[in-house]
Chains A and B, each alone.
Chain A
Amino acid sequence: MLDLFLPPLVAGLAIAAAAGPLGCFLVWRRMAFFGDTLAHGALLGIALGSLANVEPALAILVTCVLLAAGLAWLSRGRDLGNDTLLGVLAHTALAFGVIAVTLVDGLRPSLLAWLFGDLLAVDGSDAAIIAIGAVLALGLLALAWRRLLAATVDDDIARVEGIDTARTRLLLVIALAIVVALSMQVVGLLLVTALLLVPAAAARRHARDPEPMAIIAALIGMVSVAGGMATSWFADVPAGPAIVAVAAVIFFVTRLLPARS
C-alpha cells in the first residue's frame, strides 16, 4: 500500500510547497485570473503537444509562456483592464484547447482526467519529475524573491534601485507555468487555480510579513494534500477535488479565527 500511496503523496506535497508562495504573488498582484488562464492554456498545450508529438509537460510550459507573452503584449493597449484580457485569453485557450483535444485521436477519453487530475495514477517516475519541477520552480522563486517582492510593492522604486522588473515578471510567469504544467496530474486544470489561491488566501490573516505568509501558504497546501488524499482513500472520492475541499475548509476556519495583524 505504501508504494502505491507514496508517489502521489510526494508529488502532491511537492506541488503544494511550490504553489503556496507562487499563489501569494497572484493574490498580492491581484492576478487570480492568471492561474485560470494558464490552466486553460495547459489544455491547449496538451492537445498541441500530442499533435506535434512533444512531451505534454513541455508543451504545457511553452503554451503558458506564450500566453504570458500574449498578455504582456495585449496589456500595452491600456484601453482594456488586465482582468478582461485574462478572461478573454483564458476562454480563447479553453475553446481552442477543447477543439484540439477532440481532434486528436486518443485524447478524448482522458479529458476528464486532465480536467480533474488523477493523482492516484502518479507512479514513481512521475513523482520524481514533479518533485524536480517543483524544486526548480521554488529555486527560481527563491533566487528572484527580493526583486519580485520589490517589483510587486512598487515597480518604479524597484526600477530606480536597478531591478529589471520586466525580466523579474517573466521569471514569475515561468515558475507559475512550471507549477501549472505539473499540477495537471495532481488536481487537474479546473482546480489548479484553487491550489494556488486558496492556501495563500487562508494564510493572509495570520502573517505580518510576506515571507511568513508564503511559508504558511505552503504548509496549508501540504496539509490539504495529505488530508485530501486520506479523504479520497477512506471516502472513495476523487483526490483532486478532495484536496481543494480540505484547503477550502481550512480557509473558512481561518476566517473565523482572530487575525494576527
Chain B
Amino acid sequence: MRLVTLTGVGLAYGGRQVLSGIDLALDSGHITTLVGPNGSGKTSLSRMVLGLLTPAQGRVERAGGLVTGYMPQKLAIDPTLPLSALRFVTLAGVDRRTALGALARTGASTLADAPVATLSGGEFQRVLLARAIVRKPQLLVLDEPAQGVDIAGQDALYGLVGELRDETGCGVLMVSHDLHLVMAESDSVVCINHHVCCSGTPDAVSAHPEFVALFGELKPVTRKPHVAVYTHHHDHEHELDGAVHVHGPHCAGKH
C-alpha cells in the first residue's frame, strides 16, 4: 500500500535551494534508506515526509489516517525534568501495559524505571524506538538512528527494525549519512544531494556513477545479517613472498 508520495518537492532556506524536484514514494512493508552527505537535505526531506515541514514547491500526499512513528536524530531531555523511560513511552498517549510491551519488544524492559537522563546512547535508542513503535505506526521514520552507537549496537538496531517490518508490515524510511554501513535489508536506497542523484536497490545505487562521484566506490559485503560493510577499493596487494604489488595499467592478469 502506498503510504506517502512526494511529487516534485522543493524547499528553500533563506534564498538557498536546499531540495528540488524530489520524487519519492514510500510503501508499506518496504524499507527505504535515504543516504547523502551532510547538509544534503536528508533531514529536511524526512521532516516533510512526517508533515513537520511544508514544501515550498511540489506536493506531499499522505494516506488518510496514516499513523507515523518517529525516531529523531537526537533528543536532549532537560535534566530539570524527572522522567522515567516508561513515562517517556506513555507520553505517546498509551497505557502502561502497552508501553511496557513496546519496551519489551525493543529489549528495554529492564530500563522501564530508569530516569532517561541516566541512559547510555544505545539504551536510549531502544527507548526511543519503543516510543516510535508504541502507537503501531504504518510508517516508521528513523533519522540517523545509529548515531553514537558502536557497530554491534547498530547491527542490533538494524536487526530490530528489520524484524519489526516483518512482523507489522510497516513501511520504513531510514536516514543515514554513513554510507559505509547501511541496512542490508533495505529494499531501496535513495541517494540525495539537494536532488535525487540515484535510487534503486542497494547494489544498483552503489554502482551508479553519480553515487560513485559523491562517495567513491562502495562494495556492500554482508558481514552480519543487518549491516553492509564498506570495503576499501585496494590499490595494492601483499603477495605471498612479502613483496608489495601496486595495481597499475600494466598488471594484466594479476587480478
Interface residues in chain A, defined as those with a beta carbon under 8 Å from any beta carbon in chain B: 27-30, 146, 149-150, 152-154, 156-161, 204, 207-210, 212-213, 261
List 26 A-B pairs, Cβ < 8 Å.
A27-B80, A28-B78, A28-B80, A29-B78, A150-B92, A150-B93, A152-B81, A153-B75, A153-B83, A153-B88, A154-B72, A157-B70, A157-B131, A159-B51, A160-B50, A160-B51, A160-B52, A161-B93, A208-B84, A209-B82, A209-B84, A210-B81, A210-B83, A212-B82, A261-B82, A261-B115
* Per-residue A-contact encoding for B41-66, CB less than 8 Å = 1, 0 else: 00000010011100000000000000
Interface positions of B (Cβ within 8 A of A)? 47, 50-52, 68-70, 72, 75, 77-78, 80-84, 87-88, 91-93, 113, 115, 131, 135, 141
Q: Which residues of A contact B52 (CB under 8 A)?
A: 156, 159-160
Chain A hits for B47, CB < 8 A:
156
> Top 9 nearest A-B pairs by Cβ distance?
A160-B70, A150-B91, A28-B81, A207-B82, A209-B87, A27-B80, A208-B82, A160-B50, A160-B68
Q: Per a CB cutoff under 8 Å, which of A150, A154, A207 touches B75?
A: A154
A154 smallest CB distance to B (angstroms): 5
A204 to B80 Cα, complex, angstroms? 7
Residues of B within 8 A of A204 (CB): 80, 82
Residues in B whose Cβ lies below 8 Å from that of A150: 91-93
Question: Is B91 within 8 A of A146, CB to CB?
Answer: yes
Q: In the docked arrangement, what's the CA distance between A156 and B47, Å?
A: 9
- Contact check, B80 vs A210: say whether CB atoms are below 8 A apart: no
Closest A residue to B141 by beta carbon equals: A160
By the criterion CB–CB under 8 Å, are A210 and B50 in contact? no
* Residue of A153, A160, A212 with most partner-chain B CB within 10 A: A160
Residue of A nearest to B79 (CB): A204
In the complex, which residues of chain B have a beta carbon less than 8 angstroms from the beta carbon of A27?
Answer: 80
Question: Are B80 and A161 neighbours in the complex by a CB distance under 8 Å?
Answer: no
Contact B82 A161 (CB under 8 A): no
The CA-CA distance from A230 to B63 in the complex, in Å, is 62
Q: Are B81 and A153 in contact (CB under 8 A)?
A: yes
Q: Are B70 and A213 in contact (CB under 8 A)?
A: no
Which residues of A sit under 8 angstroms from B135, Cβ to Cβ? 161
Would you call A30 and B72 a contact (CB within 8 A)? no
Inter-chain CA distance A56–B239, complex, in Å, is: 91
Residue in A closest to B86 when the chains form the complex, CB atoms: A209
Interface centre among B88, B113, B141 (most CB of A within 10 A): B88
On chain A, the residues within 8 Å of B78 by CB distance are: 28-30
Contacts beyond the supplied A156-B72, A207-B82, A208-B115: 5 A-B pairs with Cβ under 8 Å: A27-B80, A150-B93, A157-B131, A160-B69, A208-B82
Bound-state Cα–Cα, A27 to B80, Å = 7
Q: Kindly provide the distance from the CB of A150 to the nearest chain B CB, expressed in whole angstroms.
A: 4
Roughly how many angstroms separate A203 CA and B212 CA in the complex, as a whole number? 57
CB distance from B172 to the nearest CB of A (A): 15
Shortest Cβ distance from residue B139 to the other chain A in the assembled complex, whole angstroms: 10
What separation, in Å, do the CA atoms of A156 and B93 have in the docked complex?
Answer: 15
B80 surroundings in chain A (CB, below 8 A): 27-28, 30, 204
User: Which B residues lie within 8 Å of A212 (CB)?
Assistant: 82
Contacts of A156 in B (CB 8 A): 47, 50, 52, 70, 72
Contact A153:B70 (CB < 8 A) given known A160-B50, A161-B135, A208-B115: no
Do B72 and A209 touch across chains, with their CB atoms under 8 A apart?
no
Interface pair B93/A146, CB less than 8 Å apart: yes
- One of B51, B77, B113, B115 near A153 (C-beta < 8 A): B77
Residue of B nearest to A201 (CB): B80
| Smallest beta-carbon distance A260→chain B, Å | 9
C-alpha spacing A261/B117, complex, angstroms: 11
- Residue of B with least CB distance to A203: B82
Chain B residue at minimum C-beta to C-beta distance from A29: B78
- What's the nearest-Cβ distance from chain A to residue B100, in Å? 15
B47, B72, B77, B83 — most chain A CB neighbours (10 Å): B83
Least CB separation from A211: chain B residue: B87
CB distance from B138 to the nearest CB of A (A): 13
How many angstroms between the C-alpha atoms of A197 and B198 in the bound complex? Answer: 54
With a cutoff of 8 Å between Cβ atoms, the chain B residues found around residue A158 in the complex are 91
Once the chains are docked, how many angstroms separate the CA of A213 from the CA of B87?
Answer: 13
Q: How many angstroms between the C-alpha atoms of A212 and B81 in the bound complex? A: 11
Cα–Cα, bound, A210→B88 (Å): 10
Shortest distance from the beta carbon of A59 to any chain B beta carbon, whole Å: 33
Q: How far is the CA of A29 from the CA of B77 in the complex (A)?
A: 10
- Per the bound structure, the CA–CA distance linking A138 and B59 in Å amounts to 42
B72: chain A residues at CB < 8 Å are 154, 156-157
Residues of A within 8 A of B70 (CB): 156-157, 160
